[in-house]
Structure 1
Amino acid sequence: MNPRIGAYNRISLDVQGEALGVARQQQDNAEQASRRHWQIVESYTDNNLSAYKRAVVRPAFEKLLTDLESGFLDGFVAYDIDRLWRQPSDLERVIRIYEDKPSLVFATVQGDIDLSTSQGRTMARIMVALANKSSADTSRRVKRKIIEQAEAGEPHWSRRPYGYTLEKTLDPIEAPVVKEMGEWFVQGFSYREIAWRLNETGIMTRAGSPWYVGTIRQFIKAERFAAIRIHDGKMYDGTWPAIFTKEEWAEIQLEVMMRKDKYSGRPVSKKYMLTGILMCTCGGYLRGMTKRDAPDRPLRRTYQCPTSSETERRMKTCAGICVDAASLEHYVRESVLARIEIPELSDVVGTSSVDRERIAVLRQEVLDIKTRRDGLLDDYTDGTLNKDELKHTQDRLSARKALIDTELDKLQRAKFNISLNPGETAREAWMDRPDGWRRAFVDLLINEITIGKSSHKPFYDVDGKRTRFDIERVQIDWKTDIDK
């Protein structure tokens, strides 16, 4: 009876992602098995996986060993020893199986080694040791080459990145798109809204696919767009043209960290414009949720006091507050637009200059304060600070951060307002822009909005649609220093 064998195929790097290397191995393995009258019952393929790196798990290789031990296979064939093993420990695992089952067969396309004999196992160990040394030598040369490229400011691109040509020059179509992504992000647009805006205008990725949140996040953080090469924690100036200046890129990265820090303590859902701004009378934040008024009624958007368990705990104070999202957002919109038309505040929209350097300095100081706060807890734990000293220092840092936040609000308003097009009114911009822009507009004028209880539901007009909504339950805390 012909032995039932497996065929193992592996390649370390598949740049094109087309698996052509393992396909060639499969063909050669099939020819080798046919010459020996062996029947291949299963093919085991690890494409684009290293056999040298210990941390890499090769699923197909592990399954091959399992099938050899279970008796499903009578042996296996591979293209060459180095396709199977680059680490002696992996070879020893296979040798133990062949010692327990001497009847197992084994062959390679490049030569014969009998793992069932002592001489064959010794030869295999020598060949794997040589393959391991070859991999180590290659790894050392590659690492040294990468260091030399980094020090010389050369890019480390395996494929042409979006925004650049094969000649490492700026792509006239893609580079402006990247530039606009950064500008939108600094203006307050979320990753999701940037992706939505690009997809709506028909702008696709380099592969012709739609944009997703993860892709936008990677682009926003990618240092290559500022012609920066980072290797082993060190930063080098790149020799390729930059899409962002160093200052612009630093501003974007500070915005990433500031936004993450700003929203870390409160719920944020980008599907609802006012999430993170609406306060319940019980002291918690309202969250965007959907609600069905009756089994046969469609779902509608609402803002509610968060979860049932939290609502039950707060029942004596808020009774599970819920407000219609469309009506509330309309009321807030009209209130904000009316507020901005007050003569004393009209110059807020018309601001035309931005102190970007001062914004960067203040943002960096906020990050430094956060780092100092984290360090204070370590000092207190180590006994360097006592409880009173800890509290005193924390209060001073909090007071300083409050002053910084106030100044940043004023400066950010200037940065925000220049996003209006010439001759464009705030109302026109509101109707045209996504929720990220609207949230920034609300933050421009409002500290927070508190939603109270309502005992009656008068009629309210939402852009011509008659609804039930009590505006008296909405208390807006306006920023009083906006014109200072």
Structure 2
Amino acid sequence: MSETSIRAAVYLRISLDRNMDGLAIDRQREDCLRIAQDRGWQVVEEYADQSKSATDKSKVRPAYNKMVADYDAGRFAAIICWDLDRLTRQPRQLEDWIDVAQENGLLLVTANGEADLTTDSGRLFARVKAAVARSEVERKSARQSRSQVQRAEQGRAPKGVRPLGYATSGDVVEHEAVAVHEIFRLFAIGDGPSIASIARGLSGQEGQDVPSSLPHLPKHSRTLVIERNARREAEGLEPRPVPNDGPWVSSTLLGILRNPRYAGYSVYTDRLDRKENKRRTWHAQILRDGDGEPVGGQWTPIVTEDMWWRVQERLNAPERITNKTGSTARKHLGAGLYLCGVCEKPVRTHGQRYRCEGHVMRSRKQVDDWVLSIIRARLGRPDLRDVISAVDEPRVQAITAQIDTHRAKIKRAQHDYDAEIIEGRDLKRVRDQANPAIDALEAERRSLTASADLGGVLDMPDPVAAFDGAPLMIQRRVIDFLATVHLYSHPRGKKTFDPHTVSVVPKHS
């Protein structure tokens, strides 16, 4: 093959282009094209990866992958790059190029000179250079990791993109924090709206299932670009295009609800610790001290620890994990609310029926119609306001403290399980003991907090009409506040509905 007939590819890469102006790529391109011109080579293709790392093997470099495929297809016989570490920083990846060079005679030229991978001295030069580059990366990574660990241990705000509600300094952004708190408050309610409904409310949409208490916020990604542009303009740089605003998506809301920082926990994840990450969960990000206790951050929490953990439990509910839509919002009036008259467990929906396996199977429509008639009658009584008693604050505080104690037991067991100190059955035993106690305490707390979260139904001039026009979740809360419903088996052979088989016991006289 003559020198002038060699078909070459130019590969350009920069790990991080903060300004995304392409100037660094342009400088590499000028040097590489000059090499091709001096050698008389024909450049048949240019491949450029902008802001793409070559260190992390899990990171995808689209242009690099295309170049590999094109070389395998025989499109070129030489590669020109500004430096060897632009091509790769992974010794294993370099060995792939060495193999093809030995088999096919690949020519590799950099601005620092030719790396002849077909000779032993050329391969030695390339391997040493790759090893040195890798060593520099590892030392830099170790310094950065130690710095990040130190920041987390001191409870300082992590560096990087700021989360909704916080500035990069860790200070609270008040109007965003209001939205974050409301997102958590709504989802922490046992029968609260779904993530999708909250996302629609945050987007300014309306609907029967959309909470009206949420402020309308532009998408956080748009806000971040606007803030970066303000900094660029202050530095005399051209602003970048601002993406159009659009609806919030459930995945973004899920990331907010899962973030321990909002409860004031200091967080750190060692991405190189394969043992820890093998079974890493959302709460494994919480940094812990030598006694296994969470490290508190120096920033102001937006939600309480109790609220954050209640949200995690709802997110971890089996029905959410196994259902097809990902929604935890109830879709039927009595599911999980009505109780089995035999075992006292909440009934579930089964087609057009409510069921407690082995005990009760009842028509949903018949039961709901009867329960609604009783609730409407109670709402229509003139003494309705008498059922709203004053809140017993000392008892509510005592209940909250007891709930926190039970949740702390679960958290410690979960941490021990993640650290492989205890088995799954031990974690299950702790949960099975603590969760019923938490449920009972929360039921008592709900009864003491009177008409909270009832959508204002009891305060309306016409509570019955307000109840009928309320979303399903509010109707369920009103029923739960006013009465306890038990279902019993219907007499065999009797076709008409028997009211005695559905017990609706008032909670307030």
Q: Please, what TM-score do these two structures have when normalized by structure 1?
A: 0.68
Relative to 1, partners in 2 of residues 1:432 and 1:68: Cα closer, same or farther, differing over 3 Å? same
* Partner of residue 53, structure 1: 56
CA distance in 2, matches of 1:22, 1:436: 56
Relative to 1, partners in 2 of residues 1:249 and 1:113: Cα closer, same or farther, differing over 3 Å? same
Amino acid at match of 1:243: I
Aligned-pair CA distance for 1:26: 7.2
Aligned-pair CA distance for 1:138: 0.3
* Partner of residue 352, structure 2: 304
CA distance in 1, matches of 2:439, 2:118: 74
Relative to 1, partners in 2 of residues 1:403 and 1:53: Cα closer, same or farther, differing over 3 Å? closer
Aligned-pair CA distance for 1:163: 1.4
Aligned-pair CA distance for 1:58: 4.5
CA distance in 1, matches of 2:170, 2:475: 38
Amino acid at match of 2:444: K
- The equivalent position to 1:243 in structure 2, one of 299, 302, 307, is 302
Q: Secondary structure at the match of 1:115?
A: coil
Residues 348-367 of structure 1 mapped to structure 2, 5 A cutoff: 348-353=387-392, 355-359=396-400, 361-362=402-403, 365=406
* Partner of residue 296, structure 1: none
Aligned-pair CA distance for 1:98: 0.5
Residues 183-198 of structure 1 mapped to structure 2, 5 A cutoff: 183-187=185-189, 188-198=192-202
CA distance in 2, matches of 1:474, 1:259: 37
CA deviations 1:94-143 (Å, max 9, x no partner) are 100001011x3322345432323333222111111110111011011101
Gaps of 5+ in 2: 206-214, 223-244, 270-286, 289-293
Q: Secondary structure at the match of 2:307?
A: helix
Residues 41-120 of structure 1 mapped to structure 2, 5 A cutoff: 41-56=44-59, 58=61, 60-102=63-105, 104-109=106-111, 111-120=113-122
Q: Secondary structure at the match of 2:267?
A: strand
Relative to 1, partners in 2 of residues 1:259 and 1:119: Cα closer, same or farther, differing over 3 Å? closer
Relative to 1, partners in 2 of residues 1:251 and 1:28: Cα closer, same or farther, differing over 3 Å? same
The answer to whether the 8 Å contact 2:152/2:268 transfers is: yes
* Partner of residue 313, structure 2: 257
Amino acid at match of 1:212: V
The answer to whether the 8 Å contact 1:68/1:74 transfers is: yes
* Partner of residue 286, structure 1: 349
* 2:132 paired with 1:130: yes
Aligned-pair CA distance for 1:156: 1.0
CA distance in 2, matches of 1:154, 1:191: 30
The answer to whether the 8 Å contact 2:371/2:504 transfers is: no
CA distance in 2, matches of 1:259, 1:476: 32
* Partner of residue 143, structure 2: 141
* 2:226 paired with 1:216: no
- The equivalent position to 1:411 in structure 2, one of 440, 445, 458, is 445
Q: Secondary structure at the match of 2:108?
A: strand
The answer to whether the 8 Å contact 2:108/2:115 transfers is: yes
CA distance in 1, matches of 2:297, 2:412: 30
The structure with the largest strand share of the pair is: 1
* Partner of residue 202, structure 1: 216
Aligned-pair CA distance for 1:83: 1.9
Amino acid at match of 1:304: Q
CA deviations 1:23-68 (Å, max 9, x no partner) are 5477447634752454444444555543323454545434433432
Q: Kindly report the root-mean-square deviation, in angstroms, between the aligned alpha carbons of the 2 structures.
A: 5.1
The answer to whether the 8 Å contact 2:52/2:61 transfers is: yes
Number of residue equivalences: 429
Of residues 212-221 and 66-75 in structure 1, the stretch that sits farther from structure 2 once superposed is 66-75
CA deviations 1:194-214 (Å, max 9, x no partner) are 222222253333224422222
CA distance in 2, matches of 1:153, 1:370: 20
CA distance in 1, matches of 2:412, 2:167: 40
* Partner of residue 478, structure 1: 504
The answer to whether the 8 Å contact 2:82/2:110 transfers is: yes
* Partner of residue 459, structure 2: 424
Relative to 1, partners in 2 of residues 1:192 and 1:360: Cα closer, same or farther, differing over 3 Å? farther
CA distance in 1, matches of 2:399, 2:368: 33
CA deviations 1:453-478 (Å, max 9, x no partner) are 9x999xxxxxxxxxxxx987996553
CA deviations 1:246-272 (Å, max 9, x no partner) are xx1333213421563474799676372
